[in-house]
Chain A
Amino acid sequence: MCRTCGCGEDEDVRVYEPTEAGHEHPRTREHEHGHEHPHSRHARTIELGVPVLAKNDELAARNRERLKEIGAFAVNLMSSPGSGKTTLLERTIRALDGARPVCVVEGDQETPLDAQRIRATGCRAVQINTGAGCHLDAVMFADALDRLGPPADALVLTENVGNLVCPALFDLGEQARAVIASVTEGADKPLKYPHMFQSADLLILNKIDLLPYVEFDVEQFAANARRVNPRVRIMHVSATRGDGLGAWTEWLLGRT
């Protein structure tokens, strides 16, 4: 049940714009239902031959088309919890300083905290709370785009639920995937979660300001990442101190 008003909504996915004082009842997902009702008593085999995620993938393709039409570019940022995604986004918005319109989609199981942090920078943001769900999908992303209405040429920076497994499987309709790792994690992460690292267009190694204090082998991390994704580009950044942000913002500004 909803902790704010007892509305019983928290079993469902919620897409909303957080406000400091208010609480709204966001839209929930609707179940589409348009099928035939055959009533044969005899067993028969129906050949389907459909990808399990066909519905998600079709909607993702529509999301991508919609973004392309307005010249917007969406990046799906994925990582384990605590890698510094939100801090990187806050810093990125400030570093871009209006050079390109930015809007943000925040995904978490619960709370509007991350979207509130992004809105504090003056940037437009919507929060998706997935409830029990461990990843964003194309339906949630479409809802978020409806809410955001990204302007022409916008960057739609989308922070997926912190998880190195499930988000890799679900296409949102993004044009690029950036996977973030941090030096406080193990350098073996790419080998442990190959599906995620294989799906990355760009790999960001965050918290490099902490390298003097942790045992993290940067070369080994790069070798492990290239073992599963040989041509991936790797950037080193410190979202708190600002190191390496130039390459990242330059990359973002160059995406069309």
Chain B
Amino acid sequence: MHELAITQSIVDAITDRVGDGRVRMVHLEIGALAGIVPDSVCFCFDLVSEGTGLAGAELEISRPKGRSRCRECGSEFEHEDPIAACRCGGVDLDVLSGRELRIVSVEVV
């Protein structure tokens, strides 16, 4: 359940920046290959944010797709699964996107 630690990091990072400000919305980016379950983050968020300026804030989670370049044939392709193969059969991949785990912005009142 690393989502609990991840969500704690999200709340800590935002609190460090906005202090006592009341946060109404949090925009996160969690890539499809990041190994993080967005639903679990939402579940943990209610627990972790309790008693902070983030309590009751809405979570907006963007989900960038995985995109890789095949090291064998050089072609780029999208995939949702962390275990992917190129059309040429190559599995040695250079992951270009999909591992994002970022706090994009917050809306403060």
A195, B82: Cβ atoms under 8 Å? Answer: yes
B103, A169: Cβ atoms under 8 Å? Answer: no
Q: Is residue B39 within 8 Å, beta carbon to beta carbon, of the partner chain?
A: no
User: Using a CB-CB cutoff of 8 Å, which residues 20-62 of chain B contact chain A?
Assistant: 20-21, 24, 28, 35-36
Q: What is the number of residues of chain A that contact chain B, defined by CB distance less than 8 Å?
A: 44
B13, A50: Cβ atoms under 8 Å? Answer: yes
Q: Is residue B2 within 8 Å, beta carbon to beta carbon, of the partner chain?
A: yes
A43, B2: Cβ atoms under 8 Å? Answer: no
Docked pose: A145 CA to B83 CA in angstroms: 35
A168, B108: Cβ atoms under 8 Å? Answer: no
A37, B19: Cβ atoms under 8 Å? Answer: yes
Question: Chain A: which residue is nearest B36 at the CB level?
Answer: A169
Cβ–Cβ < 8 Å partners of A52 in chain B: 6, 9-10, 13, 28, 101-103
Docked pose: A39 CA to B15 CA in angstroms: 14
Docked pose: A34 CA to B20 CA in angstroms: 12
B93 → chain A closest CB, angstroms: 8
B2, A40: Cβ atoms under 8 Å? Answer: no
- Report which B residues bind A (CB closer than 8 A): 1-2, 5-6, 9-10, 12-21, 24, 28, 35-36, 82-83, 91-92, 101-109
Question: 25 A-B contacts, Cβ less than 8 Å apart?
Answer: A35-B16, A35-B19, A36-B18, A37-B19, A38-B108, A39-B21, A40-B109, A43-B108, A45-B106, A47-B105, A48-B13, A49-B102, A50-B102, A52-B9, A52-B103, A53-B101, A54-B13, A55-B12, A55-B13, A133-B5, A166-B2, A169-B36, A194-B82, A227-B91, A228-B82
- Report which A residues bind B (CB closer than 8 A): 31-56, 133-135, 137, 165-166, 168-170, 191, 194-195, 198, 226-228, 230-231
